[in-house]
Structure 1
Amino acid sequence: MCVFEEKIDEATLEKLQAFEFAFSDSDGETKSFLSLAMVARQNNYVRPTLTTEPILDIHNGRHVLQEMIVDTFIPNDSKILSDGRINIITGPNYSGKSIYIKQVALIVFLSHIGSFVPADAATVGLTDRIFCAMGSKLMTAEQSTFMIDLHQVGMMLRQATSRSLCLLDEFGKGTLTEDGIGLLGGTINYFCASDDPPKVLVCTHLTEIFTESCLPKSEKVKFYTMSVLQPENNSADTEDIIFLYRLVPGHALLSYGLHCALLAGVPDEVIKRAAHVLDSIRNNKRVARLNNQNISAHDQQYQAALDKMLAFDVLKGDLNTFFRDLLPYES
């Protein structure tokens, strides 16, 4: 029943539930297939089409878990054909980049284990491996997060084929910015140099790779971003920014980090100071010292002590009296 029908209707679901009850003591494999079928019916999944062509075409794909915990989930399309197999995705934090690439991988994985998938339609090319460099933290591994990423990317570069799916989420951010840009740019160039590269999804904030010297133009590379609705003044730290969670072609040169900090509940004084520092750096200005009352009071004490020392006559003055009077200026 589950194999040939496009969707599972209510009558089929009731039969599956009765079947599950009748075979409650059956083996785990049977229970697993029953669970997949019931979840597919309850969450409106569709039967994917598997093909030997190395393509991926998903219409209104969703994340199997994220859609269950949010009030409204915004689906997105995914289309990777013979060209443009390397997709570079930029956009703000909180905008849904990581969820998007994970949902693509989950749909591909579910298709290969015989499950229906969370989408309106899906054509999935046979995939031999799914490689991930997602910044995972393995508590048992005696390695840093960045070293784990390097091992995962190294394995990806050595073993990925044209039928593989490769996910890189913020690869290069765990080290010095210049080194991270070089590693990410080198990885993407390696895929571009391949005659038949795998399907690659890259999420990054390292927008410096967009320069032609770092990432040459190639028909194998397509650029996407998560759309953002912002006010006319194009401000990056205003409360009026709205994330639309919709994947669209293009680049995003801003991460809207201050707005994300505001959403996360970071105190206003921290955000205001961060905005000041950011504005000074962007305009190549000296970062002004923080104007704090306690710091200003100490500065006045130190200035008074310095003036007293400069005015002191070492030949005629009384050192004991001088240092006794100087003690109140000490912090």
Structure 2
Amino acid sequence: MCIFEEKLDEMALERLEDFEYAFSDTDGEMTSFFYHTAKTRELDDLLGDIHHKILDMERAIIRDLIIHILTFSAHLLKAANFAAELDCFLSLALVARQNNYVRPTLTEETLLDIQNGRHVLQEMTVDTFIPNDTKIFFDGRINIITGPNYSGKSIYVKQVALIVFLSHIGSFVPAESATVGLTDRIFCAMGSKLMTLEQSTFMIDLHQVGMMLRQATSKSLCLLDEFGKGTLNEDGVGLLGGAINHFVAWDEPPKVLVCTHLTELLSENFLPKCEQIKFYTMSVLGSEDSSADVEDLVFLYRLVPGHTLLSYGLHCALLAGLPKEVIRRAALMQEVIGNNQPVDRLCNENISAQDQQYKKAVDKMLAFDSLDGDLKAFFEDIFPS
């Protein structure tokens, strides 16, 4: 029995002989007093603490169930693993059927022959994806890819790595045909963006390339995307050139794909002339003149033999939405620097006129007599209505 706010005194308890004080409870500003009576004692003897009995029964049931299940744990784990493996196979099969993948051919030879390969994710995000071939046999195992920004170089090298990886896990691959040599490792130096690492992007690239140079074998696939761009141009060219020369010196180098804007590598003095190095570029429809109208360029996303010295950075800036006055200024600076001419300081007429107004206002303030001058006339002169 519960009585709110006020505890029964002794006189009241004498009149209520069956009431026996049990405990009190305070909820906020309200205090409740609880008493045993003859009826509550009868209910307590009959039912007891039902809640705790229910909990004890639940624990006993769960314990018995666990003991029973553990008897068949080996069979249950085997079934769960089989279901997980089946789920993976069905997922791979469904994606392969929906996106026209083909069954690759794995071989022990150290080669890579992909016909019209595609990127598994990129092709799902664009209206039209341009496929590319990859042919790396016993010669030409080091492919250096130059070309403009935004032309598809990084997507290409990633799609090659993904096709090789999918081939090794038993999946069909996005291509017309693919013959893939057994690959022991895939090394990547792709410019990591992990914010948790207390290192610069360039230092992360150095560690990745160092691991690549120490541990790669003839059966490895090595990807270098813009390695050397995070430092001075001279240092970057030297490091990238040194890494490529290191691979060339091997009797049987790994399969290497290099994307770079460091066109100094194309000089005869940086890399040796050998059959192991081949040059490719991403084709562009437009003028070969770097000063051409950036709006006249069309990226074809097609890998072709050769190399290019142009990056078409202004065209990429236009695609990214930079203001046209910024692009015009950049084109002007590019032209005068290319002709070894001095760059004229930017002079905007509107800015100059505004600066002249400020200068006149400052001159008037300096010439104003703060003791005898007419302050109202002074401000009306500076800020005419």
TM-score normalised to the size of structure 1?
0.82
Give the structure 2 partner of residue 14 of structure 1.
none
Give the structure 2 partner of residue 174 of structure 1.
230
Letter in 1 for 2:338: R
Query: Paired residue for 1:242, among 298, 309, 315?
Result: 298
Letter in 2 for 1:40: A
SS in 1 for 2:187: strand
SS in 1 for 2:301: strand
Tell me, yes or no, if structure 1 residue 106 matches structure 2 residue 171: no
Question: Greater relative contact order (Cα 8 A, min sep 6): structure 1 or 2?
Answer: 1
Q: What is the distance in 2 between the residues matched to 1:78 and 1:232? A: 26
SS in 2 for 1:151: helix
Query: Paired residue for 2:248, among 171, 177, 192?
Result: 192
| Cα shift at 1:237 | 4.3
| Cα shift at 1:232 | 7.5
Q: Aligned pairs, how many?
A: 290
**Is the 8 Å Cα contact of residues 236 and 256 (structure 1) preserved in structure 2?**
no
**Is the 8 Å Cα contact of residues 84 and 219 (structure 1) preserved in structure 2?**
yes
In angstroms, what is the RMSD of aligned CA positions? 2.5
Give the structure 2 partner of residue 58 of structure 1.
114
| Cα shift at 1:238 | 2.0
**Is the 8 Å Cα contact of residues 237 and 258 (structure 1) preserved in structure 2?**
no
* Structure 1: 4+ residue segments shifted above 6 A: 298-304
Give the structure 2 partner of residue 11 of structure 1.
none
Identical-residue share of aligned pairs (%): 76
Give the structure 1 partner of residue 43 of structure 2.
none
Q: How does 1:312-323 map to 2 (within 5 A)?
A: none
Q: How does 1:1-331 map to 2 (within 5 A)?
A: 27-231=83-287, 235-293=291-349, 296-297=352-353, 324=367
Q: What is the distance in 2 between the residues matched to 1:64 and 1:259? A: 27
Q: What is the distance in 1 between the residues matched to 2:351 and 2:271? A: 47
Q: What is the distance in 1 between the residues matched to 2:187 and 2:246? A: 16
Deviation sequence 1:263-322 (CA, Å, 0-9, x none): 110001110111111111111000011021255348869999xxx9xxxxxxxxxxxx9x
SS in 2 for 1:239: helix
Q: What is the distance in 2 between the residues matched to 1:234 and 1:211? A: 20
Q: Unpaired segments of 5 or more residues in structure 2?
A: 1-78, 369-385
SS in 1 for 2:296: coil
Q: What is the distance in 1 between the residues matched to 2:148 and 2:109? A: 34
**Is the 8 Å Cα contact of residues 237 and 256 (structure 1) preserved in structure 2?**
no
Letter in 2 for 1:82: F
Higher Cα radius of gyration? 2
**Is the 8 Å Cα contact of residues 237 and 275 (structure 1) preserved in structure 2?**
no
Letter in 2 for 1:177: N
Deviation sequence 1:90-146 (CA, Å, 0-9, x none): 011111000000000000000000000000000000000000000011121111111
Letter in 1 for 2:180: V
**Is the 8 Å Cα contact of residues 191 and 198 (structure 1) preserved in structure 2?**
yes
Q: Unpaired segments of 5 or more residues in structure 1?
A: 1-22, 309-320, 326-331
Q: What is the distance in 2 between the residues matched to 1:303 and 1:225? A: 54
| Cα shift at 1:174 | 0.7
| Cα shift at 1:188 | 0.7
Pair 1:26–1:126, CA change in 2 (3 A): closer
Letter in 1 for 2:179: T
Pair 1:189–1:259, CA change in 2 (3 A): same
**Is the 8 Å Cα contact of residues 56 and 124 (structure 1) preserved in structure 2?**
yes
Pair 1:25–1:210, CA change in 2 (3 A): closer
Q: What is the distance in 1 between the residues matched to 2:291 and 2:99? A: 39
